[in-house]
Structure 1
Amino acid sequence: MAAPPLLHRHFSNSLSSPPLHRHFTSSLSFPSPSMRPAALEPNLFISPKPSLNLSKTFASVSFENQRRKPTSFAPASHASDSEPESRENRVGEAREAVAEYLQKYGASREEANCVSSNCPSYLSMLIDGVDDLDGWNSLAAAAENVEFKRKVSQMAEQKGDKGVLPFLESIGLSLASASRLARYFSPSKSNALPRLIHKIQARRGGLHLLGSENASFGYLIESFPRLLVLPLESCVKPIVLFLEVVGVPKECIRNIILLFPPVLTYDIDTDIKPRLRSFEKIGVKDTDLGKMLVKYPWILSASILENLEKILDFFDEEKVPRSCSSQAIKSWPHILGCSVSKMKLIVEELSKMDIKSKKLGHVIATSPQLLLRKPQELLQVVSFFKELGMDEDAIARTLGRCPEIFAANIDKTLDKKLEFLSNIGISKANIPRVVRKYPELFVCDVDRALLPRMRYLIEIGLSKKDVGFMVRRFSPLLGYSVDEVLRPKLEFLVKTMGRPVRDVVDYPRYFSYSLEKKIKPRYWVLKSRNIDFSLKEMLGKNDEEFADVYIGDGEVLVPPS
């Protein structure tokens, strides 16, 4: 599954986009034929150059340019032995030449200086061009009498962009992206540069509706150049208000528009609402829509709705209960961006492990992310558990109980759990038993869950060896919250029952019983009868057995927990 080509470079660790998406193309073509560059040229820039507030126009230059590595400017071949100061002088002269060039095409001195100081790749391109020209023997004689600064100016003129290219780089675009976009901004017009600066300032300021004027502005322009010809206020404000109504948190609206900018061109009544209503067939309620949009804004795309029908038909053919496939889509709408042909591959591997029909429904409803895995990634996890000594039946049962494990990364997740278990004294031979009894341990976060729980048990007087022994006997131990389970039950054990902490080492299952429904009632019964007991004797019997042994009349003491 691939992200929209332009966004992929910038949001590679975020949401992935649908392969069927029709709005982003590598050539940055506009969605509508009426919006092609040729149609834009007559009236792209609609107002004369205003006085600019450069604190807004260039406020994010230093931030946005962090995504570009500083450009090292190579000296000319004839100056290869010059000192660094000489090379620095050449760069300085090039900046001055570009600043003068920008002023020639309408930028103010302040604007020109700011742009020329923030377009390192453009400067490097001009300097390299001058050096290449000087290297041609046929032109060397003529070039010797022309000063370097003038050569840079002439090279810039030959590019023909009239200052648009360095300006686009200065607002955060890469030089390659700026080159692709520059052709949309009518450089043939004499006042193209000042009008572009004005338009960028207006668009950047209009983004206050998204909660930020500057963050990722370059990314947005790069991925959706049509933004520069939209009436921003009338487009953005209604969309923002609508997204709030359907439950999208204000702080997430900006991300939705940055990830899926074509939404700004959609009509709420004729495009957005009908598409969202299409999800009613899988039980999506109004309260679900906001969550789905935050996770995967591409659900607004027409191509995604086409894929929704194909995915539902596929799971119907696989005899997966509709409730399960619907739950998978609601909880992880990213699967709508996956083609059915790719999904079939992972389903076939699951089928070999006897995960079919209702079992498959449980797996995808619990861990829909698994549908986005490649077959070889699933098989790598299977091999991981085989190497631990688990047979295929045990692995299949583990998959059925905790499918999240099989969507986990081996290096970042599973190996870390093995290392943790080894550190508390659990040998490799005992790992299969731990996994069979409590596979969920392998999806617990080590730093935020397992280590804090282990530290708490050590703080109250147990050793690391004791904890390891308890986990071997009762694997779910470290799955319990300190505040909700471990601490209150230990405090009752020590302060009320007056028993030593080490009692839980012999019977760690103590933590699995309800404090209010089982531990307290049974303790008070035994205490009232002055009966000595171990934790296992108090809690290991069911209610009928406990009543028969300790009360004597067969009365059920408490409802089964």
Structure 2
Amino acid sequence: MQDSHTLCSTFSHPKLHFPSARHDFPSAHHDFPSLSRPRNLNSHVHFPSLSTKTITPIPSPPIPPKITQTPSISPPPNSPHSEFQEKMLYLDSIGVDFFSLINDHPPIVSASLNDIKSTVDLITSLDFAAAEFRRIVSMCPEILTSRASDILPVFTFLLREAKVNGSDLKRVISRRPRLLVSAVKTRLRPTLYFLQSMGIAEVNKHTYLLSCSVEDKLIPRLQYFQKIGFSKREATAMFRRFPQLFNYSVKDNYERKLNYFVVGMGRDLKELKEFPQYFSFSLENRIKPRHQACVDKGVCFPLNVLLKTSEAQFHRRLDVCCNSSMPLTKSPLSPIK
């Protein structure tokens, strides 16, 4: 009995609520259409039909587009394209054809415009005329890609070590522009010491040789004359007497003129020791015509008389020899050696 009372108290607890015994279940009498008869489409009760169509989700609110800044059509002032145009216009203003320069020296494309201007200002400070400057650039376009800070030490070297007079500096550069792109430590100074060691005291008169490589150009030319029969001392004396001999090509000058000297003229190599300037004269325009003129007249002149005299002096001497008695054997005009 007590248990029954407790149970009743539990269900009548004010905080607990249970649904009424009357449930709202569907009635046994439904207004569903019968499965055995056609479905009444006009019935007031409608049930959703199964469909294979996907339910379209509710679209999210649109995201506002990001605002991007439209790039400028014209390139900024410091762009490579702009600097290229400025470089082209600047070189054109000083009379240098930019496109020809690219063909001769492609690195000019990447050279800094400021560096080019500094280099041009430095070189033109020597009072080069526009035509003279264009000639220098055509001979050595590498100058325009060299910095002024690299060229200044060359000026200092020429003035202090090579003993070039300040008034001659323009002439020295004009004759050999490649000096400006030659390193003092690895090229100019070693060549200066080599020439001085040979006994060439006044190197300032032969500064065009300073940009030459001792190993690749100077020594091979000395060795060539030793191979054809001169001693080292004799070959050195020839170059000391005529330093320009270093400037000539072995194949295009030495070999061709030496072959004609020995075979065509029949002369002795000893004459070249006294007159190495023979290699400075044109084979076709001076050596051959004058030698042939002497052969026709039966006269043999010493090399210096044959080649150094002017055209008028040469023919006057030739006429004197032909119209006078035979000179003495010891005379330099004698055809008998």
TM-score by length of 2: 0.65
Residue pair 2:199, 2:240 contacting (<8 A) in 1 also = no
Cα deviation for residue 306 of structure 1 reads 3.6
Work out whether 1:357 is the aligned partner of 2:130: yes
Residue pair 1:513, 1:519 contacting (<8 A) in 2 also = yes
Residue pair 2:290, 2:306 contacting (<8 A) in 1 also = yes
Gap change, CA 1:327 and 1:505, over 3 Å in 2: farther
Residue pair 1:343, 1:372 contacting (<8 A) in 2 also = yes
Instruction: Tell me the equivalent position of 1:507.
Output: 275
Residue pair 1:327, 1:365 contacting (<8 A) in 2 also = no
Residue pair 2:222, 2:236 contacting (<8 A) in 1 also = no
Amino acid aligned to 1:459: K
Deviations 1:83-141 (A, max 9, x none): xxxxxxxxxxxxxxxxxxxxxxxxxxxxxxxxxxxxxxxxxxxxxxxxxxxxxxxxxxx
Distance in 2, matches of 1:499 and 1:448, equals 30
Residue pair 1:489, 1:515 contacting (<8 A) in 2 also = yes
Aligned residue pairs total: 242
Work out whether 1:372 is the aligned partner of 2:122: no
What SS does the corresponding residue of 1:545 show, helix, strand or coil? helix
Q: Which runs of 5 or more structure 2 residues have no equivalent in the other structure?
A: 1-78, 321-337
Instruction: Tell me the equivalent position of 1:432.
Output: 204
Instruction: Tell me the equivalent position of 1:113.
Output: none
Gap change, CA 1:368 and 1:516, over 3 Å in 2: closer
Matches within 5 A, 1:225-240: none
Q: Which runs of 5 or more structure 1 residues have no equivalent in the other structure?
A: 1-302, 553-561
Percent identity of the aligned residues?
26
Work out whether 1:521 is the aligned partner of 2:294: no
- Greater Rg by CA: 2
Instruction: Tell me the equivalent position of 1:461.
Output: 229
Distance in 1, matches of 2:250 and 2:147, equals 37
What SS does the corresponding residue of 1:426 show, helix, strand or coil? coil
Instruction: Tell me the equivalent position of 1:408.
Output: 182
Deviations 1:158-193 (A, max 9, x none): xxxxxxxxxxxxxxxxxxxxxxxxxxxxxxxxxxxx
Work out whether 1:548 is the aligned partner of 2:324: no
Matches within 5 A, 1:223-372: 305-317=81-93, 320-323=94-97, 325-372=98-145
Instruction: Tell me the equivalent position of 2:167.
Output: 393
Amino acid aligned to 1:359: E
Distance in 2, matches of 1:534 and 1:346, equals 50
Distance in 2, matches of 1:434 and 1:466, equals 21
Residue pair 1:307, 1:336 contacting (<8 A) in 2 also = no
Distance in 2, matches of 1:414 and 1:549, equals 45
Instruction: Tell me the equivalent position of 1:254.
Output: none
Cα deviation for residue 408 of structure 1 reads 0.9
- Aligned Cα root-mean-square deviation (Å): 2.4
Higher relative contact order (CA 8 A, sep 6+): 1
Gap change, CA 1:449 and 1:391, over 3 Å in 2: same
Matches within 5 A, 1:78-227: none
Amino acid aligned to 1:355: F
Amino acid aligned to 1:486: Y
Gap change, CA 1:460 and 1:405, over 3 Å in 2: same
Instruction: Tell me the equivalent position of 1:236.
Output: none
Matches within 5 A, 1:464-483: 464-483=232-251
